[in-house]
Amino acid sequence: MVTALAAPLADDLGDDLGDDLGRGALAILAYATLGVLLLIIGFFVIDLAIPGNLRDLIKTDRNPNATLLASSGLTSIGLIVAASMWSSSGELHEGLLTTLTFGMVGIAVQTVAMLLFDHIIGISVHDLVRETRPQPGARLLAVIHLVLGLITAVAVL
C-alpha cells in the first residue's frame, strides 16, 4: 500500500524537478550569454580608450600593461554582471534587463574613470601601453578598475 502511494508522489516530484532543472539551465544559458556579450562590449570599449589595437597589443606585442588594463576592466565588468544577477528578482526577463543595464553602466564608469585618471591625475594610458615593461601606473589603474567594479557591484546589491 505504501508503495502504491509513493509512486504518484515520486512522479510529481520528478516532473517538478525536470521543469525546475530545465528553467534553471535556460536561465544559466541566458545569463552566461549576456555576460559574454557584455565582456565583448567591454573589451571593445576598452580598445577605444587605449591607443592602438588592443587585440594586437595583447596577442602580438604581448604588452603587459595593455593586458593588465584590459584584464582588470573585464574583471570589474564580471563583478558588476554577477552582482546584477544576484540582485535580480527571480524573474528571468527582469534579471536579464537589470544585468544588461547595470553592465552597460559599469562599462561606462570604467571608461570614464580611465579617461579621468589620464587627464586629471596625469597617468597617461597612451604612454603606459607604449611601454613594453610593466609600469606602476598600469598597476594603479588596474586596482582602480577593480575598486570601481566592486563599488558598482555593491551599489547594485
Residue of 89, 107, 90, 103 lying closest to 33 (CA atoms): 103
Residue 2 lies inside a defined structural domain of this protein: no
Residue 61 lies inside a defined structural domain of this protein: yes
Residue 11 lies inside a defined structural domain of this protein: no
Residue 42 lies inside a defined structural domain of this protein: yes
Q: What is the mean pLDDT of the chain?
A: 86
For residue 47, what are the domain limits?
28-156
| Region of poorest pLDDT, from 44-58, 82-96, 136-150 | 82-96
Contact 80/149 with Cβ under 8 angstroms? yes
Does residue 70 surpass a pLDDT of 70?
yes
Contacts of 143 (CB under 8 A, 6+ apart): 72
Cell of 94: 527582469
Report helix, strand or coil for 63: coil
Residue 23 lies inside a defined structural domain of this protein: no
Q: Which helix (H) or strand (E) holds 109?
A: helix 92-116
Q: How confident is the model at residue 110 (pLDDT cuts 50, 70, 90)?
A: confident
Residue 37 lies inside a defined structural domain of this protein: yes
What local confidence, expressed as pLDDT, does residue 29 receive? 93
**For residues 146 and 135, what is the distance between their CA atoms, to the nearest angstrom?**
17
Please count the helices (runs of H) and the strands (runs of E) in the chain.
Answer: 6, 0
Residue 49 lies inside a defined structural domain of this protein: yes
Does residue 72 surpass a pLDDT of 80?
yes
Identity (one letter) of the amino acid at 157?
A: L
**Radius of gyration, CA atoms only, the chain:** 22
Specify the number of domains making up the chain: 1
First-to-last C-alpha distance (Å) of the chain: 51
Q: Burial, 97: exposed, middle or buried (Cβ in 10 Å; 0-12, 13-18, 19+)?
A: middle
